[in-house]
Amino acid sequence: MSTNLYLNWAIVAVSLFNALLLTWLGLTVLLNSDRRAWGIWIASAGLLLGALFFVSHSAIAGLGFTLTWRSTIFWWTVGMTPVILLPYAWYVVILWYAGFWAGPPARLRQRQQWWLAAVTLLLMGGLVSFGLGVLLLIIPAPELTSLRLTVRWSLAGIPLLAVGYSLYVLLCIGLSLDALRQPGPSDRVMGTVARQRARPYLMAASVMLMLVSLLVTGAMLWVVQDAHRRTFLEIYFVSRELVARFDLLVSTLIGVVILLVGQAVVSYEVFTGKTLPRRGLARHWVRAIALSAGTAVLISAAYTIQLRPLYGQVLVAMLIAVFYALVSWRSYVERELYMEQLRPFVSSQRLLDQLLTPTAPQEVDIDLPFRALCRGVLDAKMACLTAVGPLAPLVGPPLVYPSTAANLPPFTALAGQFTTPQTLMLPLDPAQYGGAIWAIPLWSERGLIGLFLLGEKNGGGLYSQEEIDIARVSGERLIDTQASAEMARRLMLLQRERLAQSQVIDQQTRRVLHDDILPNLQAAMIALSNPGNENGRIPDALALLSDAHKQISDLLHNMPTTTAPDVARLGLVRALRRAVDNDLAAAFDEVTWEIEPAAAEKAESIPTLTAEVIFYAAREAIRNAARHGRGVEGSRPLHLTIAICWPAGLQMAIVDNGVGIQAAFPTTNNGHGLALHSTMMAVVGGAIVVESIPGERTEVVLTLPDI
């Protein structure tokens, strides 16, 4: 130790700081890993070995020559073991992180495999030499004198052990830099991005370690050259201040290395095996630095000024209490911030009031919580939420944040890339998807229901595990809410229309019967009962009865049919064919059926309730084609094709060569019937897709996935 108290205090403080931080990092890597592969164990063991070295360094630096001979041997053994193992552990962990053992042989493995074997041989030789040296120190037998001389073998006056260790350390650090310069591919989500962003920290840490290695090698050479003139003990006493300053410099540089490695670990979790980083770990890292620095400063100061142990322990206990109070305060502040961010999601949207409003039910606005999610929680520059599959017609167009974002391409091809819920996310081309760089799938019991596209964060960082989970859960909830509310709104609106139509039909029936039919019947009865001109009465009476018959027929024809088809007895396909042949075939010039036998057979296994929903939807599409396919041209040929197949579930295509939807409904809102049936199809897990080309054709496709 130095005679300078401040220098002694700084050496012990930095050493304790490094020991505490390495302990925290080693346990954090081990306890927070998803898959504790052998690389995780080596990384954690290496960090804990570093902590063990600085524990021994603190003991030697603090106690100095007050240590007994056996205590000196013990602490030097404890300290030298990590000194030998840590460079190799750093090299192996960097190789593992860079993908040396992952996948097929790559350029990294071809470039480094022989160097790894050479470094391993150097490590084994160093361990054997170190173990032999410790035994020779512990067993001071005279017969071992000749063996002790082998430890002093030198090359050009430099001990072989010093040459071998210097070469070993320089190789480990230099080869680590080469592995970081050209790492292999990663199979983790965001693995490549994480490596690119963590590489500057790890490269800087390796450069600092190389600098430390060069300094230690230079110091070893200086001591060895000076040892020809005087003993090591004399060198130490003469250069005590210089040795202390050199020790502080090396410890400080290693402290910087620890901070760099810790920043890479907590920011991108490069050694924990996590798919994504977690935001909370970075906050804990800052607190660990603060606690380690405060504890190291207090303990070092208490020991340097020879404070009674009780006082030092009290100071450390008070520091821990103050730190715990600050952590608790920050936890409450963060909790309030989380509650403020979640407020748009937990606040009521008054769905029931909107559905029961006397006017038309209002659409549910999920744009506000979506924007709050993108702006306040995810801090994304760009985001898009879109529904796919059966819920897409109910949810409507994609939600885009901000509203000025570029137009996005169709998501059909992108949705096809998500085949399993285990796929966490996929990278995107930002030029193709309006700045989005990640696509997150949204799942439910029915399968894929939506996609959540995210652009870069405003701060330029990676999305954390919590943020991806929040985006997924919130996106699924928003799609479910919008689909459920839209389904309820449509059903409520259609129910009101049905009630209004029933009232209109009832009033119209009463008016026609009272004002038109009954007077004609009464006039016919009077004409037939009048004994006057019989030849003139009979034709008039027949004309009145014929007119009344036509009015009653038209009235019955215009009234809605409430008879349910016998789908349970005949099956979906046969019931639909009977309905078309009996009621609707006359409306078309030609009806073509294209039914795969396997599809007709599998359709029999569809539950009765689901089959009836599909039947009504198909009948509505056929009725629309019969009523509006010819448009204003009553003589236009009209052909209908009904194709049924089973590629991955029921698929029924109803195609007509009519005027198209826009030509049939040029000015009015159309598709109320199909809106009802698309809602019912969504309830049973199916979907309706309508495609119309004005003047050429209309195609309605009903799908039901195979469950």
Between 106 and 12, the higher pLDDT residue = 12
Beta bridge partners of 448: 443
51 pLDDT above the threshold of 80: yes
Between 222 and 14, the higher pLDDT residue = 14
Kindly tell me the burial class for residue 560, based on how many C-beta atoms sit within 10 Å of its own C-beta (0-12, 13-18, 19 or more).
Answer: exposed
Please state the rounded mean pLDDT for residues 337-343.
69
**pLDDT score, position 654:** 93
Beta strands in 391-446, from DSSP E residues, in sequence order: 399-401, 426-427, 438-444
Report the share of the chain in percent with pLDDT over 90: 5
Please state which CATH number belongs to domain 354-489: 3.30.450.40
**pLDDT score, position 562:** 45
Give 590-599 pLDDT, tens digit per residue. 899 999 988 8
Q: Is the dihedral of CA 287, 291, 294, 300 positive or negative?
A: negative
Please state the rounded mean pLDDT for residues 673-683.
76
**pLDDT score, position 652:** 93
DSSP states of 572-635: HHHHHHHHIIIIIGGGSSEEEEEE-HHHHHHHTTS-HHHHHHHHHHHHHHHHHHHHHSSTT-TT
DSSP states of 536-556: HHHHHHHHHHHHHHHHHHHHH
Token representation of residue 207: 């450069």
Domain ranges of the chain: 5-292, 354-489, 495-558, 567-705
Average pLDDT value for the chain:
75
**pLDDT score, position 180:** 81
Token representation of residue 583: 């009621």
**pLDDT score, position 148:** 47
Report the range out of 58-67, 131-140, 310-319, 578-587 with the highest average pLDDT. 578-587
Beta strands in 462-612, from DSSP E residues, in sequence order: 590-595
Beta bridge partners of 594: 643
Query: Cα separation of 614 and 608, whole Å?
Result: 10
The alpha helices in 98-190, defined as continuous H runs, are: 107-138, 145-151, 160-181
**pLDDT score, position 2:** 57
Give 365-379 pLDDT, tens digit per residue. 677 888 888 887 888
Which three-class secondary structure state does DSSP give residue 188? coil
Token representation of residue 382: 């760009």
Displacement of CA 44 from its chain's centroid (Å)? 27
Q: Lowest-confidence range among 170-174, 328-332, 422-426, 533-537?
A: 533-537
Residue pair 222/158 in contact (Cβ under 8 Å)? The answer is no
Give 261-313 pLDDT, tens digit per residue. 888 887 776 676 666 666 667 778 888 898 888 888 888 887 777 777 777 77
**pLDDT score, position 665:** 47
Between 636 and 152, the higher pLDDT residue = 636
- Return the half-sphere exposure (C-beta side, CA atoms, 13 A cut-off) of residue 178: 18
Beta bridge partners of 380: 457
Per the listing, tokens 């509006």 go with 628
**pLDDT score, position 563:** 45
**pLDDT score, position 106:** 65
Query: Cα separation of 111 and 115, whole Å?
Result: 8
Name residues whose C-beta falls within 8 Å of residue 373's C-beta, 6 or more positions apart in sequence: 344, 345, 383, 470, 471, 474
Q: Lowest-confidence range among 255-264, 493-502, 582-591, 688-697?
A: 493-502
Query: Cα separation of 408 and 385, whole Å?
Result: 11
Between 144 and 338, the higher pLDDT residue = 338
Name residue 42's amino acid.
Answer: I
**pLDDT score, position 175:** 85
Q: Is the dihedral of CA 564, 569, 573, 576 positive or negative?
A: negative
**pLDDT score, position 359:** 54
664 pLDDT above the threshold of 50: no
**pLDDT score, position 565:** 54
Backbone angles phi, psi at 640, to 5 degrees: -125, 135
Give 603-612 pLDDT, tens digit per residue. 888 888 888 8
349 pLDDT above the threshold of 90: no
Under the banding of pLDDT at 50, 70 and 90, the label for residue 189 is: low
**pLDDT score, position 641:** 92
Query: Cα separation of 541 and 159, whole Å?
Result: 136
Give 206-238 pLDDT, tens digit per residue. 888 888 888 877 776 666 665 556 555 565 566
Token representation of residue 213: 């290695």
Please state the rounded mean pLDDT for residues 82-99.
81
Instruction: State the DSSP code for 112.
Output: H
**pLDDT score, position 434:** 82
Token representation of residue 431: 């030029």
393 pLDDT above the threshold of 70: yes
Query: Cα separation of 518 and 526, whole Å?
Result: 12
Query: Cα separation of 80 and 74, whole Å?
Result: 10
Give 547-578 pLDDT, tens digit per residue. 766 666 666 556 555 444 578 788 888 888 88
**C-alpha dist (Å) from residue 342 to 62, 335, 377, 524:** 52, 10, 8, 76
Under the banding of pLDDT at 50, 70 and 90, the label for residue 669 is: very low
Under the banding of pLDDT at 50, 70 and 90, the label for residue 115 is: confident
Question: Architecture of 567-705 per CATH?
Answer: 2-Layer Sandwich (3.30)
**pLDDT score, position 642:** 93
Q: Lowest-confidence range among 100-114, 205-219, 666-680, 693-707?
A: 666-680
Please state the rounded mean pLDDT for residues 629-650.
85
Query: Cα separation of 575 and 571, whole Å?
Result: 6
655 pLDDT above the threshold of 90: yes
